[in-house]
Amino acid sequence: MSKMLGVAASSPGGSTRRPDSGGNSRKLLLGAYFDFIRIRFLTMLAYRVNYYSGILIYTLNIGVNYFTWKAIYGDGQALGGFTAAQMTTYVAVSWMARAFYFNNLDREISTDIRDGSIAIQFIRPYNYVLVKMMQGLGEGLFRFMLFMIPGMAIAMLLFPVNLPTEPSAWIGFLVMLFFSFLINSQINVITGLLAFFVENNEGMMRMKRVVVDLFSGLIVPISLFPGWMSSVLEVLPFQAITYLPGSVFTGRVQGVGIWNVLGIQVLWFLLLLIPIVWLYHAARKRLFVQGG
Amino acid sequence: MAAIQVQDLRKTFKVQKNREGLKGAFADLFKREYTEVTAVKDISFTIPEGEICGYIGENGAGKSTTIKMLTGILVPTSGVLSVGGYVPYEEREKFVRNIGVVFGQRSQLWWDIGVIESFQLLRKVYRVSEADYKKRLDELVERLALQELLNRPVRKLSLGQRMRCELVAALLHNPSILFLDEPTIGLDIVVKSEIRDFLKDMNREHGTTILLTTHDLQDIEALCSRVIMLDDGRIIYDGGLEELKQRWGTGREVLFQFGSATKLGQLNHWTDGMPVTWSAENDLNAKAWIPLDLNVSDVLGRVVGQADITDIKIIETNTDDIVRSIYQSGSAEKPEEARAEQDGKEVVHV
């Protein structure tokens, strides 16, 4: 009886069936994308012990930078528009922002491409890049809650960090932090997708890491670079990751300037979509699945 | 209507050439040289709905490349392709909702989460309604006896368990076409036959079209009514398995065991005038080789009445041997015929 039901339920002339594209089915796919966030979050949570050492390392980084800057400032008042107090806050906020927005999407994507498991991704009715971004978001959520917030608390206990008190600054900062995550992830996706075009993009990934840390103003705020250099960096996307949100949060940029900063972030977010879409489509034509 | 239609399909890869030595490496740095490798060379075939078709060939013959083009993973260099009414590489996301794919060597389940969670996620990815999903899952879980595995993380499954779960994962959305790339690789004999039975039932009950590549010819014998054989990117045989056997199997062997000593000369004498070749290890065991056009029972008739026989065994050339000799010659043409064409002579079958 069950066999007969099976036949009746699915037409043998199956290839004439077209997937329905109704609202309900779109909602299901959306649900799947949310699941990728949730699953990555839960997986990270299962391995949370690995990240406890990370909190220590980030605190250490903040400490090293704090004492270095303290020595550089000496009795001086301001450097590149930063007072010593602002610099301390900037260093702490930048490193903690990095604790949130950092991810290894570039490595994940290039591994998928190089070991051939990208094939599995292409037999599924979803957008691979979007899935990767969702997984990155799941990781970001974990890093935000179990990495950035406790790390920030420790940093505030150890170093004289002055955080703003107005709620609007906090809301603005969180929005900008989210865009930092998006832009950094987009750069990672681009670096990862390059594995389609070069046999080994290990070097590129390492270079990207150094470039992002240096040019985003994490190590040295952009206003401290030589004039010509900072004017070059101002037209690159990296400053939108750390320097701009950090400047807002330390109170160096205020009023209308805040909207300008947000505008620059949104602009880079949109601009970076172009190479991603282009790479993804070009890659489909060049794809060479490794291992047969 | 045909489920899969392929016309002059070709795929060419550009492969980076690495020149030798330090000088070569330095030259590579500035000007890359590429070699073109054609993995699939203008193949054409049509698979009707509801057929199980075996796709075989040596390693590197182009099987996987074909499957990857048929499933929309790779974009062909040239040729016309239609699978389930879609051009796979053009509307990939819509197209793949209608097919199921199992790669024996790659998992499509998520390593870190439980089996049932993987299924739930796939349900949403493939946009299957809760009711359809439940019905389908119950059916598959019962058929493949997976009840106890559902809550385990995928990384803790054995290969046989995982492969059964992979099948469910590929079939949850009730695809009309199923692609299997070496589905039984590395599995023990029990799981292998379970999977074969399951696939046969799937095909019978749901009319699922199945295209499978394999190196295990027993898969083909158990499942396929049709075989496409590939060599160096070209189709060298496309037809029924029985025909292949008939065309290539040159004869049968009959093993005799005698109760009392029977000399080779005696045996030859009994089958005098027949093109039978006898060989004997000792007086109690003998082997007769009988060409295809001679009836086995005629030979048996001559021997049975006269000798004291304790056992008879008839051995047909098995598919492994046939396929091995085809791979070695690189052509599915019967060697005699090929030679005959070359020499322009008629071959006289004795």
Which residues are within 8 A (CB) of B205 and not within 5 positions of it... i.e. 6 or more apart? A3, A6, A7
In a domain, B193, yes or no: yes
Q: Which residue in A18, A32, A199 is closest to B124 by CB distance?
A: A32
CB contact under 8 A, B108 and A284: no
Indicate if B222 and B158 belong to the same structural domain: yes
Q: What are the chain A neighbours of B52 within 8 Å (beta carbons)?
A: none
Q: Strand B285-291 and strand B277-280: pairing?
A: antiparallel
What pLDDT, in 10s, does the model give residues A5-56? 333 333 333 334 444 556 677 788 888 899 999 999 988 888 888 888 888 8
Indicate if B67 and B96 belong to the same structural domain: yes
pLDDT confidence band for B294 (50 / 70 / 90):
confident
B198 touches chain A (CB under 8 A): no
Residue B287 has pLDDT above 60, yes or no: yes
The residues spanned by each domain of chain A are 44-291
**Mind telling me how many Å the CA of B45 is from chain A's nearest CA?**
17
A218/A241 Cα distance (integer angstroms): 9
B47 touches chain A (CB under 8 A): no
Kindly state the percentage of chain A with pLDDT values over 70: 90
Last residue of a domain, one of B189, B210, B245: B245
Residue B342 has pLDDT above 70, yes or no: no
**pTM, rounded to two decimals:** 0.81
**Which residue on chain A is closest to B114 by alpha carbon?**
A39
- Sign (positive or negative) of CA dihedral B155, B161, B162, B165: negative
Average pLDDT value over all residues in chain B: 85
Alpha-carbon Rg for chain B in angstroms: 26
**Mind telling me how many Å the CA of B67 is from chain A's nearest CA?**
11
Range with the lowest mean pLDDT among A219-233, A260-274, B282-296? Answer: B282-296
- The reported pLDDT for the residue numbered A10 is 39
Question: How many Cβ pairs closer than 8 A exist between chain A and B?
Answer: 131
Indicate if B283 and B303 belong to the same structural domain: yes
Indicate if B225 and B263 belong to the same structural domain: no
Range with the lowest mean pLDDT among A122-131, B171-180, B308-317? Answer: B308-317
**Mind telling me how many Å the CA of A208 is from chain B's nearest CA?**
20
pLDDT confidence band for B345 (50 / 70 / 90):
very low
B162 touches chain A (CB under 8 A): no
- The reported pLDDT for the residue numbered B331 is 66
- The reported pLDDT for the residue numbered A6 is 35
- The reported pLDDT for the residue numbered B40 is 92
B104 touches chain A (CB under 8 A): no
What pLDDT, in 10s, does the model give residues B4-24? 999 999 998 887 777 788 888
A277/A229 Cα distance (integer angstroms): 30
Indicate if B51 and B184 belong to the same structural domain: yes
Q: What are the chain A neighbours of B112 within 8 Å (beta carbons)?
A: 39, 43, 46
Residue A186 has pLDDT above 80, yes or no: yes
- The reported pLDDT for the residue numbered A282 is 87
A8 touches chain B (CB under 8 A): no
Kindly state the average pLDDT of the residues B241-257. Answer: 79
Last residue of a domain, one of B188, B219, B245: B245
ipTM of predicted complex: 0.79
Which residues are within 8 A (CB) of A272 and not within 5 positions of it... i.e. 6 or more apart? A183, A186, A187, A190, A237
Range with the lowest mean pLDDT among B155-164, B242-251, B304-313? Answer: B242-251
Q: Which residue has the higher pLDDT, A240 or A13?
A: A240
- The reported pLDDT for the residue numbered A247 is 87
CATH assignment of the domain containing B285: 3.30.70.260
Among A252, A106, A248, which residue's Cα sits nearest to residue A172? A248
pLDDT confidence band for B348 (50 / 70 / 90):
very low
A200 touches chain B (CB under 8 A): no
What pLDDT, in 10s, does the model give residues A99-128? 999 999 999 999 998 888 888 999 999 999
Indicate if B171 and B287 belong to the same structural domain: no
Indicate if B287 and B210 belong to the same structural domain: no
pLDDT confidence band for A289 (50 / 70 / 90):
low
Kindly state the average pLDDT of the residues A133-150. Answer: 92
Indicate if B101 and B213 belong to the same structural domain: yes
* Domain count of the fold of chain B: 2
CB contact under 8 A, B113 and A126: no
Kindly state the average pLDDT of the residues A65-88. Answer: 86
- The reported pLDDT for the residue numbered A291 is 44
B108 touches chain A (CB under 8 A): yes
- The reported pLDDT for the residue numbered B334 is 54
Kindly state the average pLDDT of the residues A254-263. Answer: 86
B155/B113 Cα distance (integer angstroms): 8
* Residue from B82, B124, B197 to probe the interface with A (highest A Cβ count within 10 Å): B124
- The reported pLDDT for the residue numbered A4 is 36
- The reported pLDDT for the residue numbered B341 is 41
Q: Which residue has the higher pLDDT, A133 or A7?
A: A133
* Residue from A29, A117, A123 to probe the interface with B (highest B Cβ count within 10 Å): A123
Last residue of a domain, one of B245, B274, B301: B245
Q: Are A208 and A221 in contact (CB under 8 A)?
A: no
- The reported pLDDT for the residue numbered A14 is 39
B114/B155 Cα distance (integer angstroms): 9
Indicate if B147 and B272 belong to the same structural domain: no
Residue B99 has pLDDT above 70, yes or no: yes
Q: Which residue has the higher pLDDT, B241 or A289?
A: B241
Q: What are the chain B neighbours of A18 within 8 Å (beta carbons)?
A: 94
In a domain, B202, yes or no: yes
- The reported pLDDT for the residue numbered B339 is 42
Query: Tokens 């998006």 appear where?
Result: A182
Question: How many alpha carbons fall within 13 Å on the CB side of residue B157?
Answer: 25
- The reported pLDDT for the residue numbered A22 is 60
Average pLDDT value over all residues in chain A: 85
Indicate if B279 and B147 belong to the same structural domain: no
- The reported pLDDT for the residue numbered B347 is 38
Q: Which residue has the higher pLDDT, B294 or A203?
A: A203
Q: What are the chain A neighbours of B113 within 8 Å (beta carbons)?
A: 39, 42-43
Residue B66 has pLDDT above 70, yes or no: yes
Range of the domain at B153: 2-10+44-245
- The reported pLDDT for the residue numbered A179 is 96
Q: Which residue has the higher pLDDT, B110 or B325?
A: B110
CB contact under 8 A, A39 and B121: yes
In a domain, B341, yes or no: no
Indicate if B105 and B127 belong to the same structural domain: yes
CATH assignment of the domain containing B121: 3.40.50.300
Indicate if B195 and B281 belong to the same structural domain: no
Q: Are A132 and A138 in contact (CB under 8 A)?
A: no
Q: At residue B246, what are phi and psi to the nearest 5 degrees?
A: -65, -40
- The reported pLDDT for the residue numbered A266 is 96
Range with the lowest mean pLDDT among B33-37, B145-149, B172-176, B182-186? Answer: B33-37
